[in-house]
Amino acid sequence: MKHLNGWLIYNGSLQSEKFNEIHTWYKRTAETKNITLELVKNSELFSIINQDSLSIQTEGAYVQPDFVLFLDKDIRLAKHLEALGYKLFNSAAAIEACDDKMITYQILSQHGIKVPKSIFSPMMFTGTKEQNNNFVDMVEKELDYPLVIKEAFGSFGEQVYLVNNRKELIAKRKELLYIPHLYQEFIETSRGKDVRVHVVGDQIVASMLRVSEHDFRANVTNGGKMHSYHPSESFIELAIKASNIIGTDFSGVDLMFGENDEPIICEVNSNAHIKNIYDCSGIDVTAYIFDYIRRKIEHE
């Protein structure tokens, strides 16, 4: 087995025990696959424009990598590295599409993938004022209460809100007016429950059911409980298709239960956390990720 060198790029501002554990986990798995994986902060890489060319400088003495495992959302750095010929997993385009929920829904819906009916808030510059309630009136006409409001950028369900009436809608809109966000139908049949599946390449490698008895969101961070779960073929097919359309090499796809348990895509995560799925299923997703990366590199 050929030896490979890789970088795992992560955000230098996230120095918590949770993230450090995950990065060390990847490094440990890589060693079993004959891969030397260096942990590199995005803040240790300096993207430079030399008037008519690009370059990258490193703060540390890092070995030139055969690939980059990009576990950050620093899109500009990702694009800079790709322009210089670095092979990223996931690609900058895939990370960008997953990071912005509005872009995720635009891409998926154009390919016939069912997502909740959504209405994007028009962009407004900070300090400007909304002249009337025409937008709120339109949202009420198109969507029933309760309805969901999501910030375009967010993680762990923390930037997702449920509003029950016009008063709550106007108040939340005023709060988020200058933040990219959307308004979405609430899938009542999936209240407090969803399915998380981990996709690597063209296969599902792990899955779990998340259920909350106290919150409309099923995220474990918000109190949801994890259960071993084998999704139906329709869930499996939709998750793989959505992941491939977005362009991810690996992803965590969240699916909701529609009428008659029809799968509906909630979101696609380019950097899904691996610990919860391991605790629930006993499956180490990192092993599948490195096997996939090796296959891709060796067949290029």
**What is the CATH number that goes with domain 4-89?**
3.40.50.20
The CATH homologous superfamily of the domain defined by 96-114+190-296: ATP-grasp fold, B domain (3.30.470.20)
Is pLDDT of 72 > 90?
Answer: yes
For 18-40, how does the pLDDT look when each residue is reduced to its tens digit (9 = 90+)? 889 999 999 999 999 999 999 99
- Category of 261 on φ-ψ map: left (φ > 0), alpha (ψ -120 to 50) or beta: left
Mean pLDDT of 264-292: 95
In this prediction, residue 268 carries a pLDDT of 97
Kindly state the percentage of the chain with pLDDT values over 90: 87
Burial class (CB in 10 A: 0-12, 13-18, 19+), 102: middle
Spell out the domain ranges in the chain: 4-89, 96-114+190-296, 118-186
Q: What is the mean pLDDT of the chain?
A: 94
119 and 280 Cβ atoms separated by less than 8 Å: no
The CATH number of the domain covering residues in 118-186: 3.30.1490.20
| pLDDT tens string 175-218 | 999 999 999 999 999 999 999 999 999 999 999 999 998 889 98
Token code pair at residue 246: 């977005």
Q: How confident is the model at residue 165 (pLDDT cuts 50, 70, 90)?
A: very high
pLDDT score for 14: 80
Residue 191: φ, ψ to 5°: -60, 120
What would the mean pLDDT of 151-179 be, rounded to a whole number? 92
DSSP 8-state assignment for residue 163: E
SS3 16: coil
119: β partners: 183
Asked if residue 148 lies in contact with residue 105, where contact means CB atoms within 8 angstroms, the answer is no
Task: Please tell me the predicted confidence (pLDDT) of residue 263.
Answer: 97
